């Protein structure tokens, strides 16, 4: 695509009518190309919503429990790793759709603290896949204007992965098209505990008084504090399981829940649109009467 900087601000003086006419034609063609470029840019920035969805009711923050990768692979006679790799492709598609449909925050449950008890070979593969995906997709992430934050207990992560996470977070911290939060070695209970520990240290150091502790203060210490909309409007869990599995326990207090039958690698644009349509048909009362 040609940059607008390509086009000169003025046309050099011509020494004959033929040259002047040719130059005028070139200028006209350049203007046409520039206009087409601007129209294409506006088209790409426009939210293209599926039929039935309302732009004013799009959730600001969507959380996803990406469940079913292993079962997806088993159904096809593949090793579990193939299912996780297919899950990465589904995540890339959801990131694209969130940007296109105007969702501000996407939080995905990639690896639970409870998953550390899985066979070492599977855990090692998942950590390797996460690191590889961050490296190979980084340039595309930057190009799409996605900000990445990784939340969870980092104490068990390798030094190389921690260095990579720091680099990715730094390189994307000013991006604003979508904030993608990836929960790795995370649990809702861990999140509340670490928030309480932080607050306890502040009380011990005399920074705050005991009476200062309230819901607002706790929320400021949770891992999701780094995003503009810390509480999800909608939680999606795939694979037909009907539980939240220790994910964002505090933050989900008033979140709308949606349980989808497809396994995560099969969860695509149609299924995501159905989840959003279900969300838009609900009344969110937050304890009041309407």
Per-residue pLDDT of the chain (290 residues; tens, 9 = 90+): 434 433 334 334 444 445 455 556 666 666 665 555 444 544 444 568 999 999 999 999 999 999 999 999 999 999 999 999 999 999 999 999 999 999 999 999 999 999 999 999 999 999 999 999 999 999 999 999 999 999 999 999 999 999 999 999 999 999 999 999 999 999 999 999 999 999 999 999 999 999 999 999 999 999 999 999 999 999 999 999 999 999 999 999 999 999 999 999 999 999 999 999 999 999 887 777 66
Give me the pLDDT at residue 287, please. Answer: 73
**267 Cβ partners below 8 Å, 6+ apart?**
90, 94, 236, 238, 260
Neighbours of 179 (CB within 10 A): 22
Burial class (CB in 10 A: 0-12, 13-18, 19+), 272: buried
Burial 129-167, CB ≥16 within 10 A → b, else e? bbbebbeebbeebeebebbbbbbbbeeebeeebeebbee
Q: What's the pLDDT at 286?
A: 77
Contact in structure between 182 and 151 (CB atoms under 8 Å): yes
Helix (H, G, I), strand (E, B), or coil: what is residue 262?
A: coil
Domain ranges of the chain: 55-187+231-281
Question: Coil, helix or strand for 112?
Answer: strand
Query: Hey, what CATH topology would domain 55-187+231-281 get?
Result: Undecaprenyl pyrophosphate synthetase (3.40.1180)
Q: Are strands 61-65 and 146-151 parallel, antiparallel or unpaired?
A: unpaired
Task: Give the model's pLDDT for residue 141.
Answer: 95
- Tell me the catalytic residues: 67
């Amino acid at each position: 695509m040609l940059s607008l900087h390509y086009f000169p601000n003025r046309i050099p003086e011509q020494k004959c009518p033929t040259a002047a006419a040719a130059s005028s034609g070139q200028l006209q063609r350049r203007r046409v190309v520039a206009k087409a470029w601007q129209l294409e840019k506006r088209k790409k920035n426009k939210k293209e919503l599926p039929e039935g969805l309302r732009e004013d009711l799009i959730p600001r923050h969507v959380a996803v429990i990406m469940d079913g990768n292993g079962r997806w692979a088993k159904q096809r006679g593949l090793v579990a790793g193939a299912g996780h790799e297919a899950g990465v492709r589904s995540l890339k598609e959801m990131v694209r759709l969130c940007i296109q449909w105007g969702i501000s925050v996407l939080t995905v449950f990639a690896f639970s603290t409870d998953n550390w008890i899985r066979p070492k070979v599977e855990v090692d593969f998942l950590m390797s896949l996460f690191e590889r995906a961050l490296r190979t997709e980084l340039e595309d992430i930057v190009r799409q204007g996605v900000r990445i934050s990784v939340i969870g207990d980092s104490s068990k992560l390798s030094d190389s992965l921690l260095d990579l996470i720091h680099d990715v977070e730094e390189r994307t911290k000013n991006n604003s098209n979508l904030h993608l939060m990836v929960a790795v070695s995370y649990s809702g209970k861990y999140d509340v505990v670490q928030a309480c520990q932080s607050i306890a240290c502040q009380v011990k150091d005399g920074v705050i008084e005991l009476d200062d502790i309230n819901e607002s203060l706790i929320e400021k210490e949770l891992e999701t504090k780094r995003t503009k909309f810390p509480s999800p409007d909608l939680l999606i869990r795939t694979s037909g399981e009907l539980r939240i599995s220790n994910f964002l326990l505090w933050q989900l207090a008033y979140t709308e829940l949606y349980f989808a039958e497809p396994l995560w690698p099969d969860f695509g644009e149609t299924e995501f649109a159905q989840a959003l349509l279900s969300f838009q048909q609900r009344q969110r009362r937050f304890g009041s009467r309407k």
